[in-house]
Amino acid sequence: MPVKTECRERAMRAYLSGEVDHHGAREIMGVLDREIGQALPGSLELDLSGVSFMDSSGIAVVIRAWRRMGELGGTMRLRSVPHQARRVLETAGIHKLMPLE
């Protein structure tokens, strides 16, 4: 499973793993949509430590989750971002939208 989530007192943490490309993005988005929709969290922390590769499909995944959290009036942050994924996300200016650790 490329996404695992846990939620405690409306703080959700989601762990992505493997290669986040166009081939895998749809499933990741589906799981995140469903989990956010069920838990309605006040904050989302997306942990990317297990991501071995990311391309612009990952940007779409992150922006979609960020929009969803915005609709809920919540916050979002990215943590444990590997170097390659960081280069991709920073090229898109994601670090201007949310904290990227």
Partner 1 sequence: MKVLDQATVTFWSRSANESFARMAAACFAARLDPTLDELNDIKTAVSEAVTNAIVHAYPDALGKVIMRLRLLEGDVVEVLVRDTGVGIADVEKARTPMFTTGNEERSGMGFTIMESFMDSVRVRSAPGKGTAVTMRRRVSSRRDRRR
Please tell me whether residue 42 binds partner 1 under the rule CB under 8 A.
no
* Stretch of residues binding partner 1 (CB under 8 A), selected from 2-10, 41-49, 57-65, 68-76: 57-65
| Distance between CA atoms of residues 36 and 86, nearest Å | 24
Residue whose C-alpha is closest to residue 61's, from 73, 78, 40, 49? 78
Strand-pairing partners, residue 44, are 12, 76
Q: Does 63 bind partner 1 (CB under 8 A)?
A: yes
**Contact by Cβ (8 Å): 80, 49:** yes
- Stretch of residues binding partner 1 (CB under 8 A), selected from 8-16, 38-46, 48-56, 72-80: 48-56
Binding site for partner 1 (CB under 8 A): 19, 21-23, 25-26, 29, 53, 55-57, 59-60, 63-64, 83-84, 87-88, 91-92
